[in-house]
Structure 1
């Protein structure tokens, strides 16, 4: 009887943390992938150029670099559970900042609110990702992270649709050409009205995040730390520096480049589609996220049953390279592939080049769950710091979209600017084939 009870307890402890962390990953996705719809919205409301618009991603993702190591220190003091609660409260503060930003229509205040949201997510990500890795066997870690990714990207499908329904409705009066024809006073009245649309939704978001923080505090989430998975610690006791682990450092670079291309695929597609005359441009991020969800489902059923996570990472990089080339060379007015795919129903026109940007979601989906267990393998006592460094890699989402925006502004060609992704996918391919195997910083290792 006692043995049965213990077995039931172990089973419930496994399911409950997965459910709770899964809820948090849905929150990650919802808040993160609102940015794709927010960029074209703020470009109009705050009268921004291309490069200025992508400061939305800069402010949001740079928080991961600035705050990752400080938050790792905080987590060592608070533990994962209290750290998650703290992260949600910081995010609630960031959401509330959107209210004065909308009232004043000040882009700088919007950016500060985005930085606070990114800071809260930094705490949550630094706690939740290693928690999922530590929750079970290392060989199945990619599957657990894929489940979390499915929830994260599922939220990414929902968020732009909700944003479009409640905020981007009836946008005809805010066409940039029509606004340019108005007097300064009339244009400011119109744009102030547009910015005000953000106030109530972000107030609701803040309240929801506070409720979730209370839920986490009262939840039966068990304590978890890296001491539960330190089989390799003794052999690494003499390795005091985190930088002595090439698989980690190369993994950080890989995640930096991966998040950069992921954000470019998810957050530039709306503005790109708007330029090409796509009517539902505010929902285009949902297309990218839908392909990511599809890839996660494929990954959960195929890894490691049919292919290894290293192979999945290699295939992801190759597909990313192929799609990037197609984006660069496909005529903007071509819709042959799109028409062929949806011939059986009447769906709005979508240029093939925009479809290829969305398909990058399929190429990108399995990179994150594959890299995490590879990079953390064998770290022992350094796993918290290693996790923080990997979280810092998320800053790729701050810098690479900004580079894309700067290139677009300089060349006036947003399509060819996608070339910034080519070296990123090449490095991801290197990590999949060779980089994750390196264990010593010797010339012959590389």
Structure 2
């Protein structure tokens, strides 16, 4: 069988996994305002939703990398899918008990599964074909991550958010009349059916992966020559890996902050209803994210990845400067434009971090996924700023603005060292 055909079906199946963790990450902007309402939370408490997800990445990434290194790609994918499905099922009892702690446990388990999938799928995609086109192939696969990114807020806004937004005075009256608990429980129960459907879809996908034979992928010259074949933290002595991990930490923190508080931002700035804000997030901002992925993959034929990353980081920073210092719809429009420029950042930082490492890419991959813990920390800082300033979530967006500045510095420093790699007639 020709090598290209040999990898076609595995490439399609593994690319489908990118949708799963994209859905997990991008449903959080729906869960944050929804559980804030159903469980009566502050902004800082609601930010723990992001913390549960991204702490799972931090704690599970190394075990996932070790598992992949020892047992191979396929078994790692199967185990990740099982964890994801179990976590989705845990949402049913969590909703029944209306326990925020139970919701956080369920999210942690789903995210543990997603950590396995992401730790494995990113380097695996780079192995499914010619090593010279690995960066472009990873960006193409990550483009389908964008499909989950725009569908999650739309689906969540339609099937989870009720559109009912009571004022504190109305909630106080409901408490006095004894109807508050029934209302809050109805809000929590709205989560049950969507997560049951997710669990069933993941079970079907697990069955398909179990039945299909997956190759271990292509090696390259550096695979045989690299001394970094040992699964060890010593890989951090490589400055390429170290600075990529740091950049990924701040990028993911920025990405999560931009989306997670978008509904709160829109309510604060222009009093936009939650359902409409969720629709804007999915149908405009995250469609921009998806389009940005495909556009960025194309532009990398002509612009080196680190240079494009620098330009996009500068654009994201400037948009947030405007969003935090202006009023009215224009501030919201600027915030909605940021995901287009965020689109290429994760896969580009990832690819710049693992390029040329051979088997050392497996350890580097785990560390780059661990760096996603930035998404657990930065939203908490935003929540703190908002709570301490009387709910000024607009001011709190200074956090992702600073994060993008750090990503820009990484991109600028890498662009000086980056060598052009030809891909289809252009730079990779």
Alpha-carbon shift at residue 174 of structure 1 (Å): 4.8
- For 2:421, the equivalent position in structure 1 comes to none
Q: CA deviation at 1:369?
A: 2.1
Shift of 1:111: 0.4
Q: Does 1:270 align with 2:269?
A: no
Confirm whether residue 312 of structure 1 aligns to residue 308 of structure 2: yes
CA distance in 2, matches of 1:438, 1:303: 17
| Deviation string, structure 1 residues 266-318 (Cα, Å, up to 9, x no partner) | 211022223332121233431321111121121122212x2111111111111
CA distance in structure 1 between the partners assigned to 2:313 and 2:104 by the alignment: 32
1:99-248 equivalences in 2 (<5 Å):
99-169=92-162, 171-172=163-164, 174=166, 176-183=168-175, 185-224=178-217, 228-231=219-222, 233-234=224-225, 236=227, 241-248=234-241
Q: Distance in 2 between matches of 1:176 and 1:137?
A: 59
Give the superposition deviation at 1:113: 0.5
Specify the alignment match of 1:372 in structure 2.
350
Residue equivalent to 2:340: 362
How far, CA to CA, are the matches of 1:270 and 1:135 in structure 2? 39
Partner Cα distance (1:267, 1:84) in 2: 27
Q: Secondary structure of the equivalent of 2:363? A: helix
Which residue pairs with 2:299 in the alignment?
Answer: 302
Cα pair distance change 1:269/1:139, threshold 3 Å: farther
The alpha-carbon distance between structure 1 residues 145 and 53, as it changes in their structure 2 partners (threshold 3 A), is: same
Could you tell me which runs of 5 or more consecutive residues in structure 2 were left unpaired when the two chains were aligned: 419-428
1:88 is the counterpart of 2:66: no
* Cα offset, 1:220, TM superposition: 2.9
Residue 138 to residue 223, structure 1, CA distance change in 2 (3 Å) = closer
Corresponding residue for residue 401 of structure 2: 422
Q: Deviations over 1:27-78 (max 9, x none)?
A: 2212221111111100100000111111100001110111111111112232
Do 1:375 and 1:436's aligned partners in 2 also have CA atoms closer than 8 Å?
no
The 8 Å contact of residues 262 and 281 in structure 2, kept in 1 or not, is answered as yes
Which residue, out of 44, 52, 56, partners 1:63? 56
Change (3 A) 1:277 1:209: same
TM-score, normalisation: structure 2: 0.91
1:139 shift after superposition: 4.4
Give the distance between the partners of 1:19 and 1:89, measured in 2 at CA.
20
User: 58, 61, 77: which is aligned to 2:70?
Assistant: 77
Q: 1:238 to 1:373 in 2, by over 3 A?
A: closer
Tell me the distance in 1 between the aligned counterparts of 2:401 and 2:235: 29
Deviation at 1:419, TM superposition (A): 0.9
Partner SS, residue 94 of structure 2: helix
Q: Secondary structure at the match of 1:131?
A: helix
Moved more, 41-50 or 175-184: 175-184
Deviation at 1:415, TM superposition (A): 0.9
Q: Distance in 1 between matches of 2:247 and 2:24?
A: 23
Flag the 1:405–1:238 CA change in 2: closer, same or farther, 3 A: closer
Gap change, CA 1:414 and 1:237, over 3 Å in 2: closer
Distance 2:348 2:338 in 1: 17
Query: For residues 389 and 165 of structure 2, what CA distance do their matches in structure 1 show?
Result: 29
Q: Which residue of 2 aligns with 1:292?
A: 289
Q: Distance in 2 between matches of 1:283 and 1:148?
A: 25
After TM superposition, give the deviation of residue 234 of structure 1 in Å: 2.8
TM-score by length of structure 1 reads 0.87
Q: Which residue of 2 aligns with 1:346?
A: none
Aligned to 2:422: none
Give the root-mean-square deviation of aligned CA atoms: 2.1
Aligned equivalents of 2:169, 2:36: Cα separation in 1? 13
How many pairs are equivalent?
410
Cα deviation, 1:181-231, whole Å, max 9, x if unaligned, reads 212531111101111111122122112111111111112322237xx2352
